[in-house]
A and B are shown apart, each in its own frame.
Chain A
Amino acid sequence: MATSAATITPGKMPEVKPVDGFLALALVAVLAVCVRAIWFTPVDAMLGAAQKIFYVHVPTAIMGLYVACGLLAVSSIGYLWIKDERLDRLAEASAEVGLLFMGIVLATGPVWARTSWGTWWVWEARITSTLFLWLLVLGYLVLRGAVESPENRARLSAVMGSLAALLVPFIHLTVKLFRGMHPGPVVLKPEKPSLPPEMLATFLMALAAFALLFFALLRVRFRWATLRDARAALEAA
């Protein structure tokens, strides 16, 4: 059993509060950024109001794809190395919050694509990679749910998490090569326009707000996992 005695000590247990202050702050920040993006940021002359989706789409993509998947990979490899159960909880939390953020990316992307490219879905390299990554993380979470013993769950999911870290560059290379070899009526992504100062300010605020939300959710999820493991350890004792 990997659950150490330290977890059961009441002093080490996370405090349970009805309202999590950090999460509340993050939600207010996200709401404020949405208000600013909708009413206090100019509408893009070329792309119209649909461009405002980017204030949600890009920050969630950065947090979901890079930060969450990076954390999942590092904590999985770390777990196999030092067998610290906190790393397992971190992997679990980043996978779940990452799945949510990637879900937002995959949901907001088609809305923008419909208005700008005229189609809901394009098999473009980055979109396809995101979809595969989302499915991969989903598979990872299903695996976690299918193993009873906490020690087995941590070990087996860490194996999958470490291999997934190796897989991501391969998926990206494959879909890039696939698209590169199929020239044709592909609607190309427009060159990233240099943002005017107001838009850049909104974007940076959105990035900060979603980063805050990401870490707040990660913290909530991590604490929940700690409590769950502590309860399991108490029940087993």
Chain B
Amino acid sequence: MSEPVSRAGRTVTAGHRAPAFVADALRIAGKDLRIEFRTRSAFLAATVFAVLAVVIFRFTWDPTAIPAFDLAPGVLWVIFTFSGLLGLNRSFGLELSDRAYDGLLASQVSRESIFVGKVLANLVFVSGVQALTLPAVALFFDLHVGAAWGVLIGIVLCASLGLAAVGTLFAAIASNTRLAELLLPMMTLPFFVPLVIPAAQTSAVILRGQPLEDAMPWFKLLLAFDLVFVTACIVVFPYTIEE
């Protein structure tokens, strides 16, 4: 691990001190992202899957029947959800080989920091895939987002935070089971309903060029979900670990 200096003054009981908590979380996220950056296996798989899905959706669509701005939000969020799941599966899977997870748990890092670190890494992963998919959808579906790009990116980040938090928690649960990656979509998809529907509805408002006030109820729901579930997942994460 890098930066041994910053850990020098810590005691074992100081797991919840804010600066140490954040520093530990960032260190865990950095570790996961470094592994991903060096192997690039999951990112490549998720991105290729996302672009392929956009192309396939394009061929199932009759532009004379449904306008692009009506179809695109649904396509966008279906792809984001499934490509996100590809990355989430990997999150705890990579800790299982050589029992790396036991080493992580035996370290001084608090359980909550491990979780937040994993969520941050997954958020970066999901956002990276989205950064490539969003222009692809705009290009293939000939969407004109105009000045609302900023708002759209904000909505995407908001939904991705909830997606990463809930997905990371269930990835931790799934890694303890016989079915592992098969079980993850079954458990998470019902939880993604209050994320994907508001996100798709908000994106639809933006793409149709409607006033942003129309999307406010959906946006509030999205924020409430993030607030409730990010907190709840941090609280229950330690229970997913076998003591």
A residues near B (Cβ < 8 Å) are: 80, 132, 135-136, 138-140, 142-143, 146-148, 151-152, 155-156, 158-160, 162-163, 166-167, 170-171, 173-175, 177-178, 181
B236 & A139 in contact (Cβ 8 Å cutoff): no
Q: Which residues of B contact A (CB under 8 A)?
A: 166, 169-170, 173, 176-179, 183, 186-187, 189-191, 193-194, 197-198, 201, 217-218, 221, 224-225, 228-229, 232-233, 236, 239-240, 242
Task: State the CA gap A147–B186 with chains docked (Å).
Answer: 15
Given contacts A170-B225, A177-B217, contact A147 B194 (CB under 8 A): no
Whether the pair A152, B236 counts as a contact (CB closer than 8 A) is no
Separation of A159 and B111 alpha carbons in the complex (Å):
15
Q: Are B190 and A147 in contact (CB under 8 A)?
A: no
Q: Is the CB of A160 within 8 A of B239?
A: no
Is the CB–CB distance between A146 and B179 below 8 Å? yes
B interface, over-half SS? helix
* B169, B233, B239 — most chain A CB neighbours (10 Å): B239
Residues of B within 8 A of A146 (CB): 177-179, 183
Instruction: Identify which of B189, B197, B233 contacts A174 (C-beta below 8 A).
Output: B197
Q: Which of chain B's residues has its CB closest to A157's CB?
A: B173
- Please measure, in the bound complex, the distance between the C-alpha atom of A142 and the C-alpha atom of B170, giving whole angstroms: 13
By secondary structure, the A interface counts as helix
Asked if A143 meets B183 with Cβ closer than 8 Å, knowing A156-B176, A163-B236, A177-B217, the reply is yes
CB contacts (< 8 Å) of B217 on chain A: these are 177, 181
Name the contact of A143 in the complex, choosing from B173, B197, B228, B229 (C-beta under 8 A). Answer: B173
Q: CA A147 – CA B175 in complex, angstroms?
A: 10
Q: Which of A159, A163, A174 contacts B193 (CB 8 A)?
A: A174
Task: Give bound CA distance, A173 to B198, whole Å.
Answer: 10
B93 to chain A, nearest CB (A): 15
22 contacts between A and B (CB under 8 A): A80-B239, A135-B189, A139-B187, A140-B187, A142-B179, A142-B183, A143-B173, A143-B177, A143-B186, A146-B183, A151-B242, A155-B239, A156-B177, A158-B239, A162-B236, A163-B232, A163-B233, A166-B228, A170-B221, A170-B224, A171-B193, A174-B198
Residues in A neighbouring B197, C-beta threshold 8 A: 174-175, 178
CB distance from A193 to the nearest CB of B (A): 32
Query: Once the chains bind, are A167 and B179 in contact (CB under 8 Å)?
Result: no
Contact of A178 among B189, B201, B242 (CB under 8 A): B201
**Contact of A136 with B173 in the complex, beta carbons under 8 Å:** no
**B176 contacts across to A, CB distance below 8 A:** 147, 152, 156
Q: Are A177 and B221 in contact (CB under 8 A)?
A: yes
Q: Using A159-B173, A166-B228 as known contacts, say yes or no to A132 and B190 having CB atoms under 8 A apart.
A: yes
**Minimal Cβ-Cβ distance residue in B for A155:** B239
Chain B nearest CB from A162 CB (Å) reads 6
Task: Please name all residues of chain A whose beta carbon is closer than 8 Å to the beta carbon of B224 when the two chains form the complex.
Answer: 170
Which chain B residues border A158 with CB–CB below 8 Å? 239
Residues in B neighbouring A162, C-beta threshold 8 A: 232, 236
- The one of B173, B191, B221, B229 that contacts A156, using a Cβ cutoff of 8 Å: B173
Which residues of chain B have C-beta atoms less than 8 A from A163's C-beta? Answer: 166, 169, 191, 229, 232-233, 236
Set of chain A residues within 8 Å of B225, measured between Cβ atoms: 170
Are B240 and A177 within 8 A (Cβ)?
Answer: no
Q: Give chain B nearest CB distance to A138 CB in angstroms.
A: 8
Q: How far is the CA of A39 from the CA of B225 in the complex (A)?
A: 49
Bound: A128/B171 CA distance, A: 26
Query: In the docked arrangement, what's the CA distance between A139 and B188, Å?
Result: 9
User: When chains A and B are docked, how far (Å) is the Cα of A201 from the Cα of B131?
Assistant: 61
Give the Cβ gap from A41 to chain B, nearest Cβ, in Å: 37
Residues from chain B with a CB closer than 8 A to the CB of A181 are 201, 217
Q: A155-B239, A159-B240 are in contact. Are A167 and B173 (CB under 8 A)?
A: no
* Inter-chain contact A143/B187, CB cutoff 8 Å: yes
A158–B236 Cα distance when bound, in Å, is: 10
Contacting residues, chain A, for B233 (C-beta < 8 A): 163
Inter-subunit contact A160/B194 (CB<8 Å): no
Contact present for A174 and B221 (CB under 8 Å): yes
